[in-house]
Structures are given as structure tokens and as C-alpha cells.
Chains A and B, each alone.
Chain A
């Protein structure tokens, strides 16, 4: 789910990564309040028309992929527009496709991916962005009445994307909130290692180069869903330390879970699970400040007895 910043103008966009391939055209982009149907009144949240990201839209210039000594390396004609962390679509002459995550860029020469390619690519095969986007209207984004309902963990707005891929029209929905504060964590790898010494040195090989950033982000995402289960929007928490603490514990839990699945040894998993959910129950919601309205301020939420709910 995307979050737009309230009152930040001139730079924000709504985006959609088309799973079907690179769109040839964007037919329309419409924003609705989450509770409004497609036949209802649209929000004036966007300006202009939706566009397909220009770059990367390039080709391979040397054999790459599964049969090569380094199947993670994509030899490209150009690397313009490639960005670390973004996912792009590779397609060969046989029509085989796979999305790859860019982890390294050798400017003008090649990019590397987190995971090895599983198809073979020859010169002329394509690597392209499938992203379409549309600019956010400055007036709309600066209107505080448009700020999403922070008492609801679900999104405040729905986007209806209509575009064409391979001659066929596709319709998709995505969601976003207009928020005062971006939901997220600020956990550093060093904090992870301080909590569990050796964590950095034990990172999976594919996650060493970004020092486990994706793993921690994924843990935060899990934490966000755990809040959702408690009907708490993640962006409502007004205590950065608590957010980071819970993210760290969740990352450790995920790691232990992975090890338990592989080895059958659940001792560590049980310990981490108890730590995480114990902290979650103990800290949230009644001991951590939470925003109670769209103004941005936080406060304690009194715990209610079961007969009061």
C-alpha cells in the first residue's frame, strides 16, 4: 500500500507495476475514496494522464542468464533508469519472462540481480520497466480534509488503473493513504546485530550486499499486518522506539521461523515467538501513544474490558 504525504507538493506520484508486462498505453487512472464505488464521484487527486515509465526499456547485448557462469548478471545495451531495489521484466525470444530485482549496477554495461536468472537471454532480448504512474494534484494533496481516516488500518483511497498490454486492456486496483507521517521503521543493521550478535554475519548470501535491509523491511511489513489484526493502522503509532523494537523482534522471529522450517529445531523459534508477541501485547495499544484523529497528535488509548467493548 502506497502512502502519500499530506501537503508535500510537486513531487508525489501514484504508481503501479503492471504484472502482465510493459503497457503500451495508459487508458485512465481514477481515484476513489475507499468507500465509494466506481460509479460514484472520483477524487480530484491526480493531474495529467498516466504514463509508462520511459526507462529502462533496453535490450540484452550479450548472452546472459541461466547458462552463464554468473546467472545473476544481465548484460545490457544501456542501464539508464535502472535503480537498485526496483524490479524489471526480462523477456527472451521464446517469450519466457521473469521479474528480476536489481541489486547492482555497472553503469552502461550490466546489472546484477538478487537471485540467479532461470532463463537464457541473448542479444536483442528485452529488459524493461512495467511501471505506470500519474502525478498527484497539488491542491488535493494539500487539503487536510483528504487525510485518510487514521483509525482504520485499511486504505483511504482506491486507484483504478486501466491500461493496455499486448493489445489487451487490463484493469487493476491499488490503494493508498494520504498521511501526515509515513508508516515505516528506521532499524539499522547494527541495531539488529546488537540485539542478536552475529546477525549481520549470518545474513543469507543473497542479502549480504544490502545488509539485510529487505529482510528487515519484510519484518516491518509483518509487524504492520500484526497491527492490522488489532485494527491499528501502522502509521498511527507515535513512538518510533516501539516501532523499531517490534520490527527487530519480528525480524528475529522470522529468521528463527526460517531455521525451524529447515532444521525442525523449534526451540529458538518458540523463544523468539514468545518474545515478539509478549512485547506486542505488552506495548500496544494501551502503553504506546497512538494517533486518535487525523491531526497527527498521539495519545494513550485506554484498554477496555471485554464487557465494555
Chain B
């Protein structure tokens, strides 16, 4: 046997195999794999339901059950490690209507969200959505926040949402929660967060021509001069204290 074959043989014996059921069919897979890797180990090739493989895109939502346990478990296939006798399926896509709107016509009032998603009021606070979320987002809480007009709270609570659609799949009121949350976050960011005053100041300074001379002189430099200027630039020392200030202020 070649050293390669020996190595492979050793690896195979080292990883203990456990049974899992993919859509009802049984496979023996190494116990340390994620669901996604296990399904690929079993011979499947993903053409759907797989994305970043890093737990942030929401493509690989998986629902599973365990023996003698009535509970429904969910997770992302790329993050969840297999368990013995796990009985799973994947839901890469769940139908959810999304309202169409002209974002620039919105103002950030809660009534706008009510008009676009009136089924919001069908929520019965059953908490299925929160229980099923693979990112531990408190879905029921942000829906509750939206119902009482608190867009800011809804935006903050739903921050980790990856739009996987599991909440919509379990919703008793047939809401598409994650679309409502996304609208809330968009509206919050664009219309409700306070504007940075210093940004206004700097933009005004730019428009007033404060940096014109500097930019002109940079443009006139050749590559060698630019390199020198770059290396000679003033930088905040790594050990600088709280009150370090650059010699040149930009007008703030």
C-alpha cells in the first residue's frame, strides 16, 4: 500500500461514522462534519441551498428532528454539526411576498410599513419564529416593535437577520417577517438615524475649496514625489494617548 493509501485508511478509521437521514434516506457520515459537508460526503453536489458556507448568507436553512423527540430543530447546514440519527431536510427557498415601493418616497413613519405589510397585524405572538431562527434573532420581539410603531427597536433587534426564510415558513399569521424587518432597517438607516454633524461641516469645507490647493499640488507630483510625500505623511503614533491631535485639522 502506498503512503497515501495508508494515510487515507488511517483517516477513515479515525473518524467515527454516524447515521443521518437526508430527506428520509440513510447515510453514514463522519461525526465531526457539518450538515453541509456531510451531505457532500454522502455524494450530493449542491446546486442550490448553498452559499457563503460561512453562516451569513442564509441559503442553507435546514430543519431536522431527532429520534424520540417531537421538537423541531433548525440550523444552517454550513454551521451545524451532524448528530446521530438526525432526520433532516433543507429549505433553501420559502415563498414570501415582498412589497414593492419607491424607497425615496418613504419618510420613516410606521404607517408606511402598515400600508405595505398590513398582514403584520395577523401576528399572534406564538413565538414560532424566534424559536426557529438559526441566528437567535428575537423575531417576535421585532414584529411586536413594528406593531407599536417602534421602527428603531425593530431595526436593532433584527440586525443579525440573514433572510433565510425559516421564520416565514413557521409563521401562523402567514407573515414574511424578514421582509418587514429589512424595510425597517432600510428606513431606520436612511431616515431615522441622526445625521453626523461633522460630516456636514467637512462637506461644506470641501465645497468651500479648503482642500483645492492640496489636491492640485498632489496632482502635479510625479510618482517619485508622491511616494516621498506618502512616506513623509503625518501618522498617529501607535502609542498615542486620547488627546493626540494632528498638526493639520480639516476644519472640525
- A and B: real partners? no
Chain B interface (Cβ within 8 Å of chain A)?
A: none
